[in-house]
């Protein structure tokens, strides 16, 4: 597992320098919208129906006030709107960055 070497707030972004030398930048509002918590995403019942969650809520202007490391595998961001229950695993953060940086699926290939 690749871990962050450094994490910093720069303007309205979170910057992560990874152990492999890669750098990732995340808009704070995008991190809030991508929270992996059940509070944000809702919870599925036995039949797969999702209850709760914040599917229509806007997170424009939400900032990261602070963060804390969770074990050796995740970061918990504390947001200006009071949200703090999402544990962002290092793998999930890399996935978010890779997904954002990937070319659109309809992009021409060479």
> Contact, 59 vs 31, CB < 8 A?
no
Whether the predicted pLDDT of 108 surpasses 60:
no
DSSP bridge partners of 17: 6, 23
Whether the predicted pLDDT of 30 surpasses 90:
yes
Mean pLDDT of the chain: 86
Whether the predicted pLDDT of 44 surpasses 60:
yes
Dist. CA 64–CA 33, nearest whole Å: 12
Categorize the per-residue pLDDT at 29 as very low, low, confident or very high, splitting at 50, 70 and 90.
Answer: very high
Architecture of domain 4-41+53-101: 2-Layer Sandwich (3.30)
- pLDDT tens for 69-83 read 999 999 999 999 999
Spell out the domain ranges in the chain.
4-41+53-101
How many Å from the N-terminal Cα to the C-terminal Cα in the chain?
31
> Contact, 98 vs 91, CB < 8 A?
no
Q: Residue 20 half-sphere exposure, CB side, CA atoms within 13 Å? A: 7
Whether the predicted pLDDT of 40 surpasses 70:
no
Give residue 105's pLDDT: 60
């Amino acid at each position: 597992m690749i871990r962050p070497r450094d994490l910093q707030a720069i303007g309205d972004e979170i910057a992560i320098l990874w152990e492999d030398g890669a750098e990732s930048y995340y808009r704070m509002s995008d991190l809030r919208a991508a929270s992996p918590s059940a509070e944000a995403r809702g919870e599925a019942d036995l039949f797969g129906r999702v209850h709760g969650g914040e599917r229509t809520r806007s997170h424009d202007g939400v900032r990261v006030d602070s963060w804390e490391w969770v074990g050796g595998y995740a970061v918990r961001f504390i947001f200006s709107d009071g949200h703090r229950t999402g544990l962002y695993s290092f793998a999930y953060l890399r996935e978010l960055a890779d997904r954002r940086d990937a070319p659109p699926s309809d992009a021409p290939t060479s």
